[in-house]
Structure 1
Amino acid sequence: MDSIMSKLRNLDAYPKINEDFYSRTLSGGVITLASSVVMILLFISELRLYLHASTETKLIVDTSRGETLRINFDITFPALPCSMLSLDAMDISGEQHLDVRHDIIKKRLDTQGNVIGTRQDGIGAPKIENPLQKHGGRLEHNETYCGSCYGAEESDEECCNSCEDVREAYRKKGWAVSNPDLIDQCKREGFLERIKEEDGEGCNIYGFLEVNKVAGNFHFAPGKSFQQSGVHVHDLLAFQKDSFNLSHHINRLAFGDYFPGVVNPLDRAHWTQKTPSGMYQYFIKVVPTVYSDLRGHTIQTNQFSVTEHFKTGDVGRFQSLPGVFFFYDLSPIKVTFTEEPVSFLHFLTNVCAIVGGVFTVSGILDSFIYHGQRAIKKKMELGKFN
């Protein structure tokens, strides 16, 4: 034990006046050791800051024009089948993308959230050998099939050879398909049977949208959308349902590419519907963002903030369309993040400040302890002498 004390005493880096010049104490050795540890820890922290670039943030007016906005999404609807779910996008410039299918992938989910084998739309009940022709009769031998659009065709040459073709023709006309069983193509393909078969299933839809860089909205809703008297509505009668469960889980939602430090507030957001039907709305403020790293690589992307609102609706009267709506607007201010290297001179100055500061504070602490111990020792000796 004495040898350990002696070795620790020899570490004292603070010589004392007179005998203090050469006197080494146990407390001085402890303080020296502690201050050395503190200096090493502070040096490592400073070295880490030096090796990692600092980020400078600036706010500027966004003067960009004619750009597009990329919206990446991955959303799960645990109680809404894929056959019902559609995606629309529109903006204040008047551009509309109805029933978007390009760059979009849907996965059917069972009640446990497991992925069911996918199948192409339009495949249902087996086709009969002689489907109903446009002229009203059945398909004869060596005759090319041309199904009726039931009054929705835009020209005499137009044919609707599937249930989806008929529904699309109706959408363009602004009509709703009230009873699919009255349409030969839908009855032949088992449209209603497929809807009933998928009842209770969920859907995971993911992909991206490329829209104009202006305010707008995109929404997920049941049914095929169309314009009726200038109003955006969805064909819900074809599903013969009174309510739709729009509970959803947002796995990911981003306006643009990822960059270091970005936080997307709707990632892993979850909402459960407790009323028969309604419209869930997200109001999003998109902030254009530019991130430049040390190598000069620039990422043009966006950040956003969001508020939420739920509006109950009466499906039968179409007072509010059941669906999940994302209304977005763009901020006129752009944020720029620029990575900048820390200079070696700045690093060296900080290291010198750390060493000098720790050494000075340790010296003051050691002096206080040493002189305090001496004063106590002298008082004890005087007390014994008297």
Structure 2
Amino acid sequence: MSVLQSLKSVDFYRKLKKDLQQELTEASLPGATLSVVATVVMLGLFIAEFNNYMTVTSESKVVLDHFESLSDDTLQVNFNVTFPHLKCDYASVDATNFMGTHDAGLSARVSKVRLDKDGAQLGKHEERTKPLQHALEEKHDGPETSIALTADSFEAHHHKHDVMVVNFYAPWCHWCKKLEPVWEKTAATLNQKYPGDERLKLAKVDCTAHASESLCIKNRVDAFPTILVFRKDDTGTSLHESYHGERSVPAITAWAENFLAQAKNQVPKTRVVDSDKDGVADSHHGVGCMVSGLLHVQRAPGMLVMQAVSDGHEFNWETMDVSHTVNHLSFGPFLSERAWTVLPPHIAAAVGSLDDQKFASDQHIPTTHEHYVKVVRHEVTPSTGKRDPVVAHGYVSHSNNIQKVGEVPTVRLNYDILPIIVQYSAKSQAFYHFITNLCAIIGGVFTVAGIAASLVDKGMASLQKKQELGKLG
């Protein structure tokens, strides 16, 4: 008991005995008014302090970027672009830097997916593993055996034969000239092997002739030669597979014989044919292409170039359409789900500024699309927890079209990686700081209100005393 009695001696909060409270304390109207005012002030300051505690403040600064190792000298570029009118056989991606060095990508992974007229995916495009083979000095001394078609005569022959294989060409085309004797000899070979058989015919269309120009435009023939397959039961929305195999009489003959087998219902109809069984389709369908990939480039101004390229075709640049949709474009490693939750909205939006934007070309004038991109590295430190900063590369972009006769239609993505880092940190008030401020508010307001009440009481007492002495009017 003596210990408890000793402990009571250090009580900071001694209080009056209950029987003495009424005698030693007295309530007053001014005191009650100040108490109400003090309570309201305390409540208001508490709300303001609580809002401040719940608010996350941000701080940003710009520092110079520097490389700690040689591996930091490269940056990953991620892209996914859809070309509705450019075939995967011709779609090419090239990288160059400001010094003019091509193939500046240290490593590259590019894939292509063939698309139909509506943009639906038809399947992955397999690149040729060897150069396109051409028959050497093939000659055909006999009469022309393939059918020469125009826009007016095309439909009649289309519905006359089960399958019609058409060579769209231009007389000025070097590759068309090399294919001409091969094509005629192939037509003669098929006629000899299958005399009187009208189910399969080889035909040709001169796209430079006025009578055939509309037919080539309708089928979007931009490359010469283009070999397309037309079937009797085609509808207006049918896809026509194109031939991309070896240009020799045996190869084209073997490929065409697949359609005779299809006409006899010996094999199911397919628009992807690998006649030489080398694992690469000799013909496939698709009018568009989705190009996606990943490049590692040096942290220096550079450019990605996307255009039509072929080692066996000449292109009609006046009708070439490189309209495209940038499905995705970003820089740096792909961000995790946790990283996206940490990034502030304005930085998250800058990571893919060009995403889902469409760019259309004029159908009658060669159009080149230029995209200019300024890339900035961001380091975002989360407001809670001791975690490593999230690294994201945002960018701003500007796009422009160049329409010029004789210009090769191209999509150029010019990027400039700025040598700076924007360090962004988010801070929230610590809980102990909130409690400290809360105690200061309660104690401070209570103390100030007590001082004010004391001054009011003294003033009232002084006035009352003067009144009693008769010093007031």
Q: Tell me whether the two structures share a fold, i.e. TM-score over 0.5.
A: yes
- Identify which of 349, 366, 384 aligns with 1:277: 366
Matched residues in 2 for 1:191 and 1:102: separation?
Answer: 30
Q: What RMSD, in angstroms, separates the aligned Cα atoms of the two structures?
A: 4.8
- Identify which of 111, 116, 121 aligns with 1:105: 111
Label 1:102 to 1:209 Cα distance change in 2 as closer, same or farther (>3 A).
closer
1:226-278 Cα offsets, whole Å, 9 max, x none, are xxxxxxxxx79524563222222212211113451322321222222235321
SS of the residue corresponding to residue 182 of structure 1 reads helix
Aligned 1:1-386 pairs, distance under 5 A: 18-19=28-29, 43=50, 45-46=51-52, 48-49=54-55, 55-64=58-67, 66=70, 67-97=73-103, 102-122=108-128, 178-179=174-175, 182=178, 192-193=226-227, 197=241, 201-224=287-310, 238-240=314-316, 242-257=318-333, 258=335, 259=339, 260-261=343-344, 262=347, 263-264=350-351, 265-275=353-363, 276-293=365-382, 294-314=385-405, 317=406, 320-340=407-427, 342-349=429-436
Displacement of 1:335: 1.5
Contact 2:104 2:297 (C-alpha < 8 Å) held by counterparts: no
Larger Rg belongs to: 2
Contact 1:284 1:305 (C-alpha < 8 Å) held by counterparts: yes
Label 1:327 to 1:37 Cα distance change in 2 as closer, same or farther (>3 A).
same
Matched residues in 1 for 2:392 and 2:138: separation?
Answer: 55
Which of 301-310 and 208-217 deviates more?
Answer: 301-310
Displacement of 1:19: 4.7
1:99-147 Cα offsets, whole Å, 9 max, x none, are 9994122222222221113342459xxx9xxx9777989xxxxxxxxxx
Label 1:21 to 1:339 Cα distance change in 2 as closer, same or farther (>3 A).
closer
Displacement of 1:40: 6.2
Label 1:181 to 1:69 Cα distance change in 2 as closer, same or farther (>3 A).
farther
SS of the residue corresponding to residue 70 of structure 1 reads strand
Matched residues in 2 for 1:182 and 1:99: separation?
Answer: 35
Contact 2:112 2:125 (C-alpha < 8 Å) held by counterparts: no
Report % sequence identity: 24
Label 1:103 to 1:345 Cα distance change in 2 as closer, same or farther (>3 A).
same
Matched residues in 1 for 2:441 and 2:174: separation?
Answer: 79
Contact 1:281 1:327 (C-alpha < 8 Å) held by counterparts: yes
Matched residues in 1 for 2:228 and 2:443: separation?
Answer: 78
Matched residues in 1 for 2:305 and 2:441: separation?
Answer: 56
Label 1:336 to 1:101 Cα distance change in 2 as closer, same or farther (>3 A).
closer
Displacement of 1:77: 1.9
Instruction: State the TM-score, normalized to the length of structure 2.
Output: 0.47
SS of the residue corresponding to residue 179 of structure 1 reads helix
1:62 corresponds to which letter in structure 2? D
Displacement of 1:88: 0.8
Label 1:115 to 1:269 Cα distance change in 2 as closer, same or farther (>3 A).
same
Tell me the number of residue pairs that the alignment of Structure 1 and Structure 2 aligns: 277
Matched residues in 2 for 1:70 and 1:214: separation?
Answer: 12
Matched residues in 1 for 2:440 and 2:366: separation?
Answer: 65
2:404 corresponds to which letter in structure 1? G
Instruction: State the TM-score, normalized to the length of structure 1.
Output: 0.56
Q: Which residue of structure 2 lines up, in the alignment, with residue 367 of structure 1?
A: none
Contact 1:46 1:350 (C-alpha < 8 Å) held by counterparts: no
Displacement of 1:281: 0.5
Displacement of 1:212: 1.0
Contact 1:292 1:298 (C-alpha < 8 Å) held by counterparts: yes
Is there any run of 5+ residues in structure 2 with no aligned partner, and where? Answer: 1-26, 140-172, 187-223, 230-239, 243-284, 447-473
SS of the residue corresponding to residue 122 of structure 2 reads coil
Label 1:122 to 1:332 Cα distance change in 2 as closer, same or farther (>3 A).
closer
